[in-house]
Each structure stands twice: as C-alpha cells, then as structure tokens.
Amino acid sequence: MLGRSTQMRSLIPGLGPRALLRAGGVAVLGLLMALAVACSDDEQAQPQPEAQPAAAEQQAQPQTEQQEVQEQTGTIVDIAVADGRFETLVAAVTAAELVETLSGEGPFTVFAPTDDAFAALPEGTVTALLEDAPALTNILLYHVVAGDVRAADVVTLESAVTVQGEPVSITVDGDSVRINEANVVITDIVASNGVIHVIDAVLLPPEPEAQAMQAQQEEQQQEPEDSQQAAQPEQPEQPEQLGTIVDIAVADGRFETLVAAVTAAGLVETLSGDGPFTVFAPTDDAFAALPEGAVESLLEDIPALSAILLYHVVAGDVRAADVVTLDSAVTVLGEAVSITVEGDSVRINDANVVITDIEASNGVIHVIDAVLLPPVPLGSIVDIAAGDERFETLVAALTAAGLVETLAGEGPFTVFAPTDDAFAALPEGTVEALLEDIPALTDILLYHVVSGDVRAADVVTLESAITVQGESVSVTVEGDSVRINDALVIIADIEASNGVIHVIDAVLLAPTE
C-alpha cells in the first residue's frame, strides 16, 4: 500500500474521488459485518490472563503476551455471517450490498459491535438507519481502519483515523481498552483479509455542527486575554484554504462523470472527511473511452460502481515522489494496482498519470487517462467449464457423476477437458449409456484429472502422469504438438481459481483389465 508504514502506524484509511466516496462506505460495511461474525468465535475461545478475578472473565483482555490469536480461515465477511451474535451487523452490511467488497484481500481492521450494542441504541434507530443508506454507510465506515492492526499496536496509540475520515480515540486503562466510549471485549480475531476487535457499543461519528462548535471554542480560547495582546502587529494575510478532494473535483470541469458517480454512490460526505486519501482520478475522457453504455450501467449498479471507485483510492497522502518508488499499491478495495515507471512516464496499471500532486485539504489527487478496472476473480474449474458452451457434455457428465462439488473444491487440479465434439466422436449411444452407468462414468471422468496445478511448460517435460482414477496417461511431445494418450491438446493453460484446464480433442478411456 502506498505509504504503508505511515498508514499502519496512524491507522489512516483512504478513498478516492468517486471510488473513494462510495467505496469507502462499502469497505466499512463489509468490514463491520465480517468483524461481527469473527467476534463471536473469538469470544468463546478468548483466553483469560492468569491470576485474574472471576468477575473479569467475560471481558476480553487486549494484552498480547497472554492472549492467543484466533485464526479464522474465512474472510471478515465469512466469519461475521457464520456467527449468530452479529445478526444486526450482517443485516446492515447486506442492506448496503457490501459483502463482495469485504471479501477482497484487504487488509482491514474492524471494530465490530455486537447485536446487544445495536440494541442499546435509542428505539427505532436501527430501523431508521437501514432505510437511510448514506447515514448507515457513514456510521459503518467509522468502525473501520485500513490495514491489519493487532491489539499489541492498538494499545500504543491515542487515536486512529477511520475510513469515514474522522478519528476514533483510544484509551488504555489497566487491562481495559476503549474505542471512544466503547469497551473492547474481544481482540485479534484474525481473518484471511484482516482482523476484528469486538466492541460493546456502536461508534457514532461526530456531527458536523459539533465539530464546528468545538473549533469555535478552541479558537476563542486562543484569543488574547487582554487588550495589549490584542494589539499585536497585524499578521500577514493567510493563503486561501484548500478545498477537500470532493470540492476540487466538483470545481474542475474535467471530472463531471467522476462527480456524478461519487454522488450516485452517496460518497460525497465520506470524501469530505479528514482523510488523508490518495485518489487516482480518471477524467471525463477516460470514462468516455469505456465501452458504450458502460457508464450508464454502472450508475445503476451501485455495488459494481463502488468496487471500481474504491479501486482508485489508496489510504494516506502519497505524493508523486513516493509513488515512483513503488511497484504496487493496495487500494481501499483490497486489490493492488501496479505502478510502472519508464523515464518520465508513470502508469497505474495501464493508465497514464497525466497530472500529479493536486493538493487538497484531506489528501492528494493524481489525474489518470483511463478508468482502472479491478481484476475479475477467477472461477473454479467447474465455473469455467459451465460458462463455456464447448463443454456442455462434460458438465452434464460431471453433474450426473456428482463430481461438481469435488472439482469446485480447493484443489489444485489439472483437468484434460474433452470438448463436446470429442464426446460426439464416441460410438453412437456411448454417452447416453455412460450417463446411466455412474460408476463407469466416474471412472472415465477421474481419468481426465491429475492432482496439482500442472502448466503446459511442465507437461511437456513429462512422459506420463498419474490420474486421480489411479491409472497413468501417456504424454507425447512432437514438435509443437502434445498428446495425452491419443488426444491432441488444442488449448493449454486455461487458469482457474483451483487449478488449470488443458483442452483436448478426444475422450480419454482408461485401460481395462
């Protein structure tokens, strides 16, 4: 992540113009949801410090030396959904359509309120929030900090800037830790994409009016106490105050599409917060270069729009001088963008940076000439086969044999996949007979599967490979041609999330005894 070391210590998250605005809300909601679920599992396994009185057994201790970190294999979202004590949090995340965002790489730190914490709010508050998406998003974002910040680091801080833009205070009193007025009851519930700390109250961000009043009071306290002080020589005129990232984008005629997207996503308030944020901002021409109808479709699909906008925002104030020292930066979406420097040119993924270091009061903007599109998650071997019309017979066979769940598992697997034409080349009636003879069908299908992720570069070095069925297939290389038994490999290295597919032009038949 850009400026990662600084951001991790200050716990400052960042969002970008439009991506920033809506995306920030999404990230927080999803994070809260995941935290909530993780919290329940961790609460049951929370070890207690030695020699503590029994009355303290229900309160989680944020100490790091005596506390076991609860490792969870799922994302923050998975953990939250699996726990029954965070139903309100899950409902809020679902209502905000943030589940997909919080299943990203992260990392995120979430202070997750329990159902009891939500129930303690004034009557009708939760119902009203579920009907007011901008307000709900603002509150949820106030519970999320960018980065993976464990309890051992939290207790060294006095405050942390949330993705919402405002800081939360951190108070350590003996073995107790409070986030604002909320007690931390369970710490360090580790997910695959961050960490959850469970709290016993909902955090409410400060109202703009209260902030203005506090600023006015502080200003009055700094006024001279007597007329002699008031008669000090006139100070030089101060430079005009910078606007926020949102103010700058709205005032500039080159970002009308970006502003429209940020407004549609309800992220204006978020991107007007303290930040700091670093935003890679596409121009109107960049949006116009997308396929026809793409912008209109995105404006009607808020989750997809939010994901794209979040992919343009990095936490922290990262100037051009720092950007060029990096190879990549993790965005608020949780996915990384690549950074390429060639002479005086800098590219973010495939987008050229055309203007740098547009300073705002809450961060910095770098203008780019193309819209950044986050990577599409790879499907499993089954997903890919089902989505390709050339494998309809293979998919039907896998379904009939009950192998769909197996080949959708973690793997990895290497599948030599016959096309529909390959099945059609079998003697008439063979496919129908196999579909009625599940053991024989299963035997043939498993003869097409090898354990492990074996790419073409490795296949050509082999003479044979043992299949999951137990028998070996032969591998023959002749010039640029590769055969598996007598089947020709016609397409290689179709990558899946759980392995790889090599397409063949004939069905492999296991040797008979």
Query: Between these two residues, 47 and 418, which has the higher pLDDT value?
Result: 418
Nearest to 416 by CA among 477, 376, 463, 474: 474
147-156, 233-242, 303-312, 358-367: which has the minimum mean pLDDT?
A: 233-242
Query: Between these two residues, 44 and 431, which has the higher pLDDT value?
Result: 431
Confidence of residue 7 (pLDDT cuts 50, 70, 90): very low
For the domain spanning 1-47+59-213+242-377, the CATH number is: 2.30.180.10
pLDDT in tens, 407-416: 999 889 999 9
Contact of 288 with 2, CB cutoff 8 Å? no
* Mean pLDDT calculated for residue range 22-33: 38
Q: Coil, strand or helix: which one is 240?
A: coil
* Mean pLDDT calculated for residue range 449-458: 96
pLDDT in tens, 481-498: 999 999 999 999 999 999
pLDDT in tens, 333-351: 889 999 999 998 999 999 9
Q: How does DSSP classify residue 103? A: G
Q: Does the 381-504 domain belong in CATH 3.20.20.70?
A: no
> What whole-number distance in Å separates Cα of residue 143 and Cα of residue 24?
11
> What whole-number distance in Å separates Cα of residue 177 and Cα of residue 188?
13
* Mean pLDDT calculated for residue range 113-123: 91
Q: Which residue has the tokens 């053991």?
A: 439
Confidence of residue 53 (pLDDT cuts 50, 70, 90): very low
pLDDT in tens, 66-116: 344 444 467 877 787 787 777 888 888 777 776 777 777 778 888 988 999
For the chain, percent of residues with pLDDT exceeding 70: 78
For the chain, percent of residues with pLDDT exceeding 90: 53
Q: Is the pLDDT of residue 193 over 90?
A: no
Instruction: Share the mean pLDDT of the chain.
Output: 80
Q: What per-residue confidence (pLDDT) applies to 80?
A: 76
Choose from 54-63, 120-129, 210-219, 459-468 the range with maximum mean pLDDT: 459-468
Confidence of residue 194 (pLDDT cuts 50, 70, 90): confident
Torsion on CA atoms 89, 91, 93, 96, rounded to nearest 10: -140
Confidence of residue 242 (pLDDT cuts 50, 70, 90): confident
Q: What per-residue confidence (pLDDT) applies to 475?
A: 97
**Domain 1-47+59-213+242-377 shares a fold with domain 381-504:** yes
Burial class (CB in 10 A: 0-12, 13-18, 19+), 113: buried
Q: What per-residue confidence (pLDDT) applies to 103?
A: 73
Please state the domain extents for the chain.
Answer: 1-47+59-213+242-377, 381-504
Q: What per-residue confidence (pLDDT) applies to 26?
A: 38
Q: Is the pLDDT of residue 3 over 90?
A: no
Q: What per-residue confidence (pLDDT) applies to 203?
A: 93
Q: Which residue has the tokens 């080349």?
A: 425
| pTM of the full structure | 0.44
Strand ranges for 406-457 from DSSP E: 413-418, 449-451
Q: What per-residue confidence (pLDDT) applies to 356?
A: 94
Q: Is the pLDDT of residue 35 over 70?
A: no
- Backbone torsion region of residue 101, taken as left when φ is above 0, otherwise alpha when ψ lies between -120 and 50, otherwise beta: alpha
Alpha-carbon distances of 47 from 50, 57, 60, 176, 192, rounded to whole Å: 9, 9, 8, 15, 21
Long-range residue pairs from 319-326, CB within 8 A, at least 24 positions apart, any chain: 319/356, 319/357, 319/364, 320/346, 320/353, 320/356, 320/357, 320/366, 322/2, 322/3, 323/2, 323/353, 323/356, 323/366, 326/2
> What whole-number distance in Å separates Cα of residue 355 and Cα of residue 280?
10
Confidence of residue 58 (pLDDT cuts 50, 70, 90): very low
